[in-house]
């Protein structure tokens, strides 16, 4: 293979700034002040728990809006993606940079920890343990921590590649130092409350305090970089602001700035949430469900439980087995003279498949996904497409499937 390289552009990317410190040190207030700057455009705040941003609307010149979400990871993550799409549109239109504020990221990690703990409590082994002793200590296994970290990484990747300015806040402060799992008397260490990689992911890290001057702990920057172990944290001027930090200290030029170029890691093994999402997709074939079962078995998900189609906890492997069996049974029960099978047989290209799926959706509007005939037809179509792809027999020039209104 030929080595692929490119020359660095020298442009300062859009920053992701971590502003952390103890409670009541002005972390959120600094974000509200940034929204008043004439050098930024639309500012959107994702308030995760504090509920104080309505009052910050009184900050002179503030012009932010508050994003609405339902408190779940899925809703918050989708809100970030929606903001990212708007920021891309603003950048293409040459508008001032979009600002996204997530306040505080500490609570995002708390949400993911609670999610992992809840899943741990509902595993088969832990349910038996709690039946014997309702107050028993539940240890969260490594695979659930991996899932929580994977979700956090997905969110942070969206923020790190945001085509605009991102401000995330976090709680931080001095806590008892811990060695060997035990607190050390008389010894303290500073701790930022959040995922362990939060400081690493930020391009600039500001620490606020009630007693000391604000400092720039670190910055991934040619213009404002701090050499760890050599340079002390840089004390910020009394009139510092996030606007000054972005445009003067970091020297971010909106005309040249770009989103960070990050190649996402691609794990070999599927996560339980990915497997759940696929198996609950009514178009996933029995063959694919068998593959998912093998992948999840190999990944050691024997005791992992997820929410099934009814919102109830169910072992992931049991959900895969039950759903695959139901779809296989529905396919076998289809009448050989079912008119839809004739339409499916004419599918020979992607366009044909899209047409038949659209017609099926129209014809079976209002029919539940659990309907045996609909389930069987979806399986028949999916299997037909899979066989064509596997055999390389697709023929794009064949006529598209005919609409069978009376099927």
Count of C-beta atoms within a 10 Å radius of residue 137? 6
Spatial separation of the C-alpha atoms in residues 128 and 142, rounded to whole Å: 19
191 DSSP β-pair partners: 173
Residue with tokens 């995002």: 108
Are the CB atoms for 256 and 12 separated by under 8 Å?
A: yes
- Per-residue pLDDT 10s for the chain (407 aa) are 689 898 988 899 999 999 999 999 999 999 999 999 999 999 999 999 878 899 999 999 999 999 999 999 989 999 999 999 999 999 999 999 999 999 999 999 999 999 998 888 877 778 888 888 888 888 888 888 888 998 999 999 999 999 999 999 999 988 877 777 677 777 888 889 999 999 999 999 999 999 999 999 999 888 887 777 788 888 999 999 999 999 999 999 999 999 887 766 555 567 888 899 999 999 999 999 999 999 888 878 888 889 999 888 899 999 999 999 999 999 999 998 888 998 898 888 888 888 888 888 888 998 998 899 999 999 999 888 888 877 664 444 444 444 333 34
Are the CB atoms for 385 and 360 separated by under 8 Å?
A: no
Q: Specify the DSSP element, H or E, that contains 291.
A: helix 286-298
User: Regarding beta strands 182-192 and 43-47, do their DSSP bridges make them parallel or antiparallel, or are they unpaired?
Assistant: unpaired
Homologous superfamily of the 16-249 domain (CATH): P-loop containing nucleotide triphosphate hydrolases (3.40.50.300)
DSSP assignments along 67-107, one per residue:
----SSHHHHHHHHHHHHHHHHHHHHTTPSPPEEEEE-HHH
> CA nearest 257: which of 96, 37, 102, 101?
96
Spatial separation of the C-alpha atoms in residues 64 and 77, rounded to whole Å: 19
Residue with tokens 């030929």: 2
Where exactly are the structural domains of the chain?
16-249, 272-391
pLDDT score for 396 = 42
Verdict on whether the full-model pTM lies above 0.75: no
| Prior bond of 360 cis (ω within 30°) | no
């Amino acid at each position: 293979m030929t080595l692929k390289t490119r020359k660095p552009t020298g442009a300062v990317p859009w920053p992701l700034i971590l502003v952390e410190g103890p409670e009541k040190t002005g972390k959120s207030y600094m974000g509200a002040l940034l929204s008043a700057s004439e050098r930024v455009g639309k500012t959107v705040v994702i308030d995760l728990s504090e509920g104080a941003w309505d009052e910050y609307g009184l900050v002179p010149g503030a012009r932010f809006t508050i994003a609405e979400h339902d408190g779940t990871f899925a809703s918050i993550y989708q809100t970030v993606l929606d903001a990212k799409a708007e920021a891309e549109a603003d950048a293409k239109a040459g508008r001032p940079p979009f600002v996204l504020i997530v306040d505080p990221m500490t609570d995002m990690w708390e949400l993911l920890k609670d999610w992992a703990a809840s899943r741990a409590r509902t595993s088969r082994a832990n349910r038996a343990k709690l039946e014997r002793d309702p107050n028993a200590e539940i240890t969260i296994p490594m695979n659930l921590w991996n899932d929580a970290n994977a979700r956090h990484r997905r969110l942070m990747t969206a923020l790190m590649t945001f085509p605009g300015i991102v401000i995330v806040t976090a709680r931080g402060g001095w806590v008892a130092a811990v060695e060997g799992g035990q607190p050390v008397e008389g010894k303290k260490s500073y701790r930022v409350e959040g995922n362990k990689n939060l400081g690493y992911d930020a391009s600039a890290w500001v620490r606020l305090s009630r007693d000391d001057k604000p400092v720039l702990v670190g910055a991934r920057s040619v213009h404002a970089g701090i050499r760890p172990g050599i340079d002390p944290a840089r004390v910020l001027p009394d009139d510092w602001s996030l606007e000054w930090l972005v445009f003067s200290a970091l020297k971010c030029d909106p005309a040249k700035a770009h989103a960070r170029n990050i190649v996402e890691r691609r794990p070999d093994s599927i996560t339980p949430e990915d497997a759940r999402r696929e198996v609950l997709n009514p178009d996933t074939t029995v063959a694919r469900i068998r593959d998912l079962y093998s992948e999840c078995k190999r990944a050691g998900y024997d005791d992992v439980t997820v929410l099934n189609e009814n919102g109830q906890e169910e072992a992931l492997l049991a959900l895969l087995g039950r759903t695959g069996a139901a779809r296989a049974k529905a396919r076998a029960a289809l009448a050989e003279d079912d008119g839809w099978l004739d339409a499916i047989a004419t599918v020979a290209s992607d366009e044909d498949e899209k047409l038949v799926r659209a017609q099926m959706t129209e014809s079976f509007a209002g029919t539940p996904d659990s309907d045996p005939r609909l389930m069987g037809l979806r399986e028949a179509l999916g299997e037909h497409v899979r066989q064509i792809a596997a055999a390389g027999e697709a023929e794009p020039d064949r006529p598209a499937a005919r609409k069978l209104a009376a099927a």
